[in-house]
Amino acid sequence: MLVRVKIMRSLAFLVLALLTACGAEPVTYAADAVAVLESPEHGPQLCAAVATSLPPQCEGPDVVGWDWSAVRHESARGTK
């Protein structure tokens, strides 16, 4: 029984170590304001929360008729 517990702990440690070693960074969200985001994959979308990764990411309903020249905005890696 004690051997089985040690094996289970070793496997749990190994799984945790492998997941940590994958290099995935935690995603944080900026939820202080509603934003419009446009990426090379999709047109302007309304976002309640934006992942602060580079480039920023979000999902939301499409915004029809959005004009980037009418608002101050930033760009990061092709995403406005």
pLDDT, tens digit, 9 for 90 and up, residues 14-52: 555 555 555 555 555 454 567 888 999 899 998 888 888
pLDDT above 90: percentage of residues in the chain: 4
Q: Calculate the average pLDDT of the chain.
A: 73
Q: Which domain holds residue 35?
A: 25-75
Is residue 65 one of the residues assigned to a domain? Answer: yes
pTM score: 0.56
Is residue 33 one of the residues assigned to a domain? Answer: yes
Q: What is the mean pLDDT of residues 5-15?
A: 54
Is residue 2 one of the residues assigned to a domain? Answer: no
Q: Give residues with Cβ within 8 angstroms of 46, minimum separation 6.
A: 34, 35, 36, 60, 61, 62, 63
Pairing of strands 42-47, 35-39: antiparallel
Is residue 53 one of the residues assigned to a domain? Answer: yes
Amino acid 32: pLDDT: 54
Task: Count the domains in the chain.
Answer: 1
Is residue 12 one of the residues assigned to a domain? Answer: no
